[in-house]
Structure 1
Amino acid sequence: MQALYAYDQAVSSDFLLGLDRIGEAFQPDLNSMVPQDRRLLQGQQKLAEAGFREWHKAGGTQEPEQLDNKEVNDAVQDAIRYYQKQVQKENTFYLNQMLHATESIHDQYLHLLNLPAALRLVLEEERQREARRFTTNKENLADTTKLEQSPVLQKLADNKQLQEQTIRRTLQWAGEDEMEALRTAWRNEMRNDTEVRSYLEAASAEDGTRDYAADQEILKYIYKTFVFKGEAIPALLEEQDLNWEENRSIVKNLVVKTLKMLEESTDENMELLSLSANWKEDKEFAETLYKQTLTDDARYEQLISGAVQNWDVERVALLDKIILKMALCEMHLFRSIPVKVTINEYIEISKLYSTPKSKQFVNGILDKLAQDLMASGAIRKSGRGLLDNQ
């Protein structure tokens, strides 16, 4: 949805740039020795702009009307060629950006799994700094050895898949901005936190064994309290990723599940989580939905226009139209997805991203269109557990 919205905005700008090209074509030539007829040039510009606008309004499906003026016709054709070239670029760019943004969620997950190793470095820095002090630190710092030697942290650091992916995709915490954010989080948020200090100060068992469950719980607590909430680290993550607010819940779910998987018996071969059960299929689904929604844009625009009573389709919120078009495309293309499932999914999307009244609007339009299209046979559903047109 975001990719289609960004594409729409970019294409709107490309149309205006096409008009700018027409304007530039009819600017007076200041270097010409022949006097320029400004009124004639302005008239030609208006004719060319009108021709380009009419072509665009018709969806680019028919050639613009040819006039008895070569300069005007050439300017219109130049604007059309420029616009079509830019639109094709936008199409590819936002598709690739969508896929990259989705795949980067998994990178963020792996990146955050490397945070404990970086935290160890911060704790080592602090201990060395304290060892060089000539006066007693009034802050009464707790001994962090217990956290540094946590077997849970060590299991993460030793995980072969994490090590391999970290090197291959450069996902370690190494930048100065990242390390400084971690230092700030430790110094201002974690170090004096009641739960963290309680863990650090808790004595080991008499036989010297550790409470593995406590080691596991404190790491989950650090992530939940200071990484996915907190101040310094969330601020860093938001700066690094414009989509962090949307991706945070997904990444958090992956990280917390991984920490739960780090049982005492877990070894370095533990398989980390994937973004989806089958990313190849999900990627194909996303690509197909994106491309086909754009291909059938005019068709869906017409369907929506016919379903919106007493309301100009151009006054419908842009996000609502994109949501409706995506839903209609999904209904047509993916026969194994029940219509009700599609409608419910896009209602939820409208709640998150569109206007307060969009839920009712999207629900009403999709319900009406789905019934009409199934009745006409334009939408047919079949597959395991489904009956045609159900």
Structure 2
Amino acid sequence: MQTLYASKGSESDNIKTYENFLLKSLDSMYDLFLAQLALLAEVHKKSKDRLEKSQKKFLATQEEKNPNAKFVNNEVLELLNSNEALQAHLEDQKENPWYLDFEYIDVIFKAILESDIYKDYMSTKTSTFKEDKNFVIDIFTEIIAPNDKLYDYFEDKRITWLDDLPVVNTSILKLFKKVKVSSEGKFFTPKLFKDLEDRDFGVDLLKKTILNQGTFSDEIALKTKNWDAERITQIDTLLMQMAICEFQKFPSIPIKVTINEYLEIAKEYSTPKSSNFINGILDKIIKEYTAEGKLNKIGRGLL
């Protein structure tokens, strides 16, 4: 959708350029995923450094000499920092922005220390793995994900990261919910694509939509004669074009899956009434295709 929006309705000019933009954007989303994990890892390192420095004070208090090391010893954060596959990625400064923008580590660390989540967690000196996991999930959900300064930082850092943030944050939460004591190897560095077919689908959808935008637009126009064209948002038009492309060019994708997917995207990116509008238009198109025998879906349950 982002790439089609950038193409500005061009059917064939520079299609390779838009394909490269799409693939670069997808790779950039993985960079954001690594950046968020790196942020947690750096915050944990800062907690260790802070604890060690307080213990070495010349006039350290008894509490500073024997501090509560529960945060430092958090088993999930220890797994994160000791994961070799993740660290191999983060050793490259290009994939870990916090080497240069370390002040954001301080912002998040301070926010954690001042939170009730941290105070409740640190009210005891020991915890189970499950408690450690829940603490990490809570600070990510309540402190890191909604942080306005991080939000502004990501917006300035890369043009596509702001739209990628909800997807990436959801993926990270799912990852932490699945983490186990035995999680190692590439657990924290999952593949961006399930397989090459998964990657190629996005490219094929982009190409086939761009190459047929004129035809798809004509179909939409026939179903929206009673609508003022200027009142139909560009996003709604693009989503309907992509849906029609899946109806016509991707026989293995069930109709219901296509419709549900684009309605969800509309709810996230378009107007409050867009999902109902899109649903109505797509429903008319499906009924017409069915009556004329144009649906070439294969496999059971695809209608």
| TM-score tier (shorter) | 0.7 to 0.9
Asked whether the 8 Å contact 1:106–1:274 carries over to 2, the reply is: no
Distance in 1, matches of 2:168 and 2:201, equals: 21
What residue in structure 1 maps to residue 90 of structure 2? 166
* 2:103 is aligned with 1:180: yes
Distance 2:93 2:299 in 1: 39
Q: Secondary structure at the match of 1:149?
A: coil
Amino acid at match of 2:201: F
Distance 1:356 1:162 in 2: 40
Give the whole-Å Cα distance in 2 for the aligned partners of 1:169 and 1:128.
25
Question: C-alpha separation between the residues in 2 aligned to 1:234 and 1:144?
Answer: 31
Q: How does 1:216-365 map to 2 (within 5 A)?
A: 216-264=133-181, 266=182, 268-269=184-185, 271-272=187-188, 274=190, 278-311=194-227, 313=229, 316-365=232-281
* CA drift at 1:186: 1.8
Which residue of structure 2 aligns with residue 5 of structure 1? 5
Deviation at 1:335, TM superposition (A): 0.9
Report how far residue 365 of structure 1 moved: 1.9
The secondary structure found in structure 2 opposite 1:221 is helix
**In the TM superposition, what is the alpha-carbon distance from 1:7 to its structure 2 partner?**
0.9
* Deviation of 1:125 (Å): 4.7
Deviation at 1:287, TM superposition (A): 1.0
For these two proteins, the number of residue pairs brought into alignment is: 301
Q: TM-score, normalised by structure 1?
A: 0.66
Shift of 1:267: 5.2
Bigger Cα Rg = 1
CA 1:237–1:327: 2 relative to 1, 3 Å:
same
Please say if 1:152 is aligned against 2:76.
yes
**8 A contact 1:155–1:262 mirrored in 2:** no
d(CA) in 2 for partners of 1:314 and 1:153?
Answer: 51
- Which secondary structure state, in structure 1, belongs to the residue aligned with residue 146 of structure 2? coil
Q: Hey, what's the Cα distance between the residues in 2 that align with 1:268 and 1:328?
A: 42
Contact persistence 1:182–1:233 (CA under 8 A): no
Amino acid at match of 2:105: L
**Counterpart of 2:109 in structure 1: which amino acid?**
W
CA contact (8 A) 2:243 2:259 kept: yes
CA–CA separation in structure 2 for the residues paired with 1:313 and 1:215: 54
Supply the AA of the counterpart residue of 1:226: I
* Structure 2: tracts of 5 or more residues without a match: none
- 1:80 match: none
Q: Aligned with 2:147: secondary structure?
A: coil
1:324-349 Cα deviation digits (max 9, x unpaired): 21111110011122223322322332
Report the AA paired with residue 269 of structure 2: Y
Give how far 1:291 is off: 0.8
Conserved? CA contact 1:297–1:325, under 8 Å: yes
- Shift in Å, 1:132: 8.1
* Residue number in structure 1 paired with 2:46: 122
CA contact (8 A) 1:159 1:267 kept: no
Q: CA separation of 1:291/1:144 partners in 2, compared to 1, >3 Å: closer, same or farther?
A: farther
Q: State the Cα distance separating 1:290 from its structure 2 match.
A: 1.0
Question: Match of 1:381, SS?
Answer: coil
Q: In the alignment, which residue of structure 1 is the partner of 2:35?
A: 111
Q: For 1:88, what is the secondary structure of its paired residue?
A: coil
How far apart are the structure 2 equivalents of 1:345 and 1:95? 21
* 1:11-90 alignment runs, 5 A limit: 88-89=13-14
- Cα deviation 1:259-314 (Å, max 9, x = unaligned): 233323x1533534636662422221111111111111221222222222244656
- The answer (yes or no) to whether the contact 2:289–2:295 under 8 Å persists in 1 is yes
Gap regions ≥5 residues in structure 1: 12-58, 60-86, 205-209
Instruction: Please say if residues 209 and 242 of structure 2, whose CA atoms lie closer than 8 Å, have aligned partners that are also in contact.
Output: yes
Give me the identity figure in percent: 28
SS at match of 1:336: coil
Q: CA offset at residue 181 of structure 1?
A: 1.0
The one-letter amino acid paired with 1:2 is Q
| CA distances 1:115-136 after superposition (whole Å, capped 9, x unpaired) | 3331234235545665787889
Other-structure match for 1:101: 25
